[in-house]
Amino acid sequence: MQLVYRELDADIVRRTNAVFPAQNCFVEVLPDQLIIPRKYVELGESIRSLPVYEDDVWMVSYPRTGSTWAQEMVWLLGHEFDYVAAEQDIRMRSPLLELSALFSTDHHEMVAQAFGNTVELVRNLPRPRYARSHLSWQLLPEQFDEVKPRIVYTARNPKDLCVSYFHYCKLLHGISGDFEQFVELFLGGHTPMGSYWKHVLPFWKRSNDENVLFIKYEDMITDLPAVVRRCGRFLNATHLLNESSMKRICEHLTFDKMRQNKAVNLEKVLPASATKFIRNGKIGDWRNHMSDTMSERFDAWSEQHIRGSGLRFDYD
C-alpha cells in the first residue's frame, strides 16, 4: 500500500497549534486519516520497507498504555532474566522504531546523539531483535502480514490513557493547552498517532493469531503474575518460570521499582520535574480529571467504535 500524505484541515491545524508549541507539526496519512509528526514523511518508506524476521519480537501500542512496563517484562523473558544486561537503557535494548520522527521538533539533538536514525538502529539490531513502535498497523513494516513476527500489543482504557497522554505531552512536548482542549483533540483522533480505536481494533481483530499477544494495562495492574505467565507461554519461556524467578521479576516490575529504574524512566534525558515519565500506575485516575459530562462523552464515543467487537476495559 502506497502511503499518501496531506495537510490537515485548517480547523484542525488551528486547534493543534493552540495546544502544541511546535506549529504545523503534523500531517495526515490516508486512507485512514492518521495524524503523525511531519518528520514521519521522511522516514515512512524506510519504515514500510524495513525487513522483518520471524524471530523478531515487537512491542506495539498506542502511547501511554504501559508499553515500557510490558517491554521490560518481554525483554527479560526473552533474555533469560539477564538483569545485568537490563541495566542498559531500554531505548537501546528495544528501540522505538519511529523515535527519530516523534522528537523531530523537540529533544531532536538528544535523540540524534543518543540513538542516531532509529530506523537504522532497529534494522541493525542483533537477532532475535526486540523492538517497539507506537505506529498503527497500516504504518508498520509491510512484511508484518506475510512474515508474522511475534507481536505483543498493549491496550488501556481510554479515559486513563487520555489523562496519562496529556501529562506525557506536557512533560515531553511542552504543550500549553488545558486538559479540555486535549480531550477534544483526542476524541477527534487528532492527537499524535491519531485515532485510538483505529490503532487498537486492527490488533484486537488479530488477537487470536498465534503470533499476537494482546494484553491490557489493567490486567498488569490487577494480576501481574498471570500476565507474566501468559507472556512466558507466548515467548516459549515457561521453563524459566519457577517460584524464585516469578518472585524476582514481579518485584522488578512493581510500579515503584520501575519508577526508580533509570534504564526505563527517562531520567537520564529529562530535566528534573515534578511530573514523571512513569507517573501514576493506577486504574481510575481519570475520575480526578473528568466531569460526569466528559466521562459520558467518552462512554458514548467508545461504544460507537467498539460495539460488537467484544473488546472491553476496566475503568476502576
Q: Which residues are catalytic?
A: 134
Decide the pairing of beta strands 34-37 and 26-30.
antiparallel
Give the span between the Cα atoms of 125 and 224, in whole angstroms: 29
Looking up cell 504501559, which residue turns up?
66
- Nearest alpha carbon to residue 208 among 237, 234, 241, 238: 234
Cell output for 283? 486504574
Query: Phi first, then psi: what are they for 302, rounded to 5°?
Result: -65, -45
Question: SS3 for 155?
Answer: strand
Q: Is the dihedral of CA 154, 159, 163, 165 positive or negative?
A: positive
Cα separations in angstroms, 250 against 61, 62, 241: 22, 24, 11
CB atoms within 10 A of CB 45: 11
CB distance 160 to 286 below 8 Å: yes
